Amino acid sequence: MRIVLLGAPGSGKGTQAALMVERLGVPHISTGVLLRNAAKRGTRLGLKAKSIIDRGELVPDAIMSDMIEERLSRDDVANGFILDGYPRNLAQAKSLDEMLERLGHPADIAIQIDVDPEQIIKRLAGRAEQEGRADDSEEVVRNRMRVYHEKTAPVIDYYASRGLLTHVLGDGSIDVILERILSVLNVDNLVS
């Protein structure tokens, strides 16, 4: 099962992907996590990415493409993957398609998690308090939402035009949203 998770910042992609892993048994690949880990390790790339992330901008496509190709080339994706945070613009979407075809595992489905923007602001303010992520400050969240509407939202139409898109309502409890996702995937018997 090769799944691309789409949604605005704070729509619950990372939260849902972590739970889906337990039910589907395929790895969760989050570009946000890969970038934050590189920043923690203090690599040149990680430090460059950190200053971009902290402003709420997108890290350059060439860096992301290399990072994601390295990750998608590993053996553990043989039975599928949950891709979270990539693609974030049309160029990344086209590059991903080409890469997955070349690697022999094209995407099966793209799931767009739809959440009311007011709800998103509340969630990210909560995370800012709990985790202290620099990019969850109100000003940066506003910029991330602007970048999302300008650059990432067109990716939704791209997957729709390829016949791969399904929308899931992302309002409500985390468990209820997980059940909605599993039901569009026709998964109900894979127990954690």
What are the backbone angles phi and psi of residue 10, rounded to the nearest 5°?
80, 10
Question: Quick check: 11 binds ligand B4P (CB under 6 A)?
Answer: yes
Question: Quick check: 151 binds ligand B4P (CB under 6 A)?
Answer: no
Judged by DSSP in three states, 52 sits in helix
Determine the Cα–Cα distance for residues 186 and 69; give it in Å rounded to an integer: 28
Question: Quick check: 112 binds ligand B4P (CB under 6 A)?
Answer: no
For the CB of residue 23, give the shortest distance to ligand B4P in the complex, in Å.
16
Question: Quick check: 20 binds ligand B4P (CB under 6 A)?
Answer: no
Question: Quick check: 58 binds ligand B4P (CB under 6 A)?
Answer: yes
Q: Please identify every residue annotated as catalytic.
A: 13, 88, 127, 133, 144
Q: How many residues lie near ligand B4P (CB under 6 A)?
A: 29
Q: What is the DSSP letter of 59?
A: P
Question: Quick check: 53 binds ligand B4P (CB under 6 A)?
Answer: yes
Determine the Cα–Cα distance for residues 53 and 59; give it in Å rounded to an integer: 7
DSSP string covering 127-173: HHHHH--GGGSHHHHHHHHHHIIIIIHHHHHHHHHTT-EEEEE--S-
Q: What is the DSSP letter of 7?
A: E
For 26, residues 6+ apart whose C-beta sits below 8 A from its C-beta are 1, 3, 77, 79, 80, 81, 82
Q: Which residue is nearest to ligand B4P (CB)?
A: 32
For the CB of residue 128, give the shortest distance to ligand B4P in the complex, in Å.
9
Q: Which of 123, 159, 165, 168 lies at the binding interface for ligand B4P (CB under 6 A)?
A: 123
Question: Quick check: 15 binds ligand B4P (CB under 6 A)?
Answer: yes
Question: Quick check: 174 binds ligand B4P (CB under 6 A)?
Answer: yes
Q: Which residues bind ligand B4P (CB under 6 A)?
A: 9-15, 31-32, 35, 52-53, 56-59, 64, 84-86, 88, 92, 123, 126-127, 135, 144, 174, 177
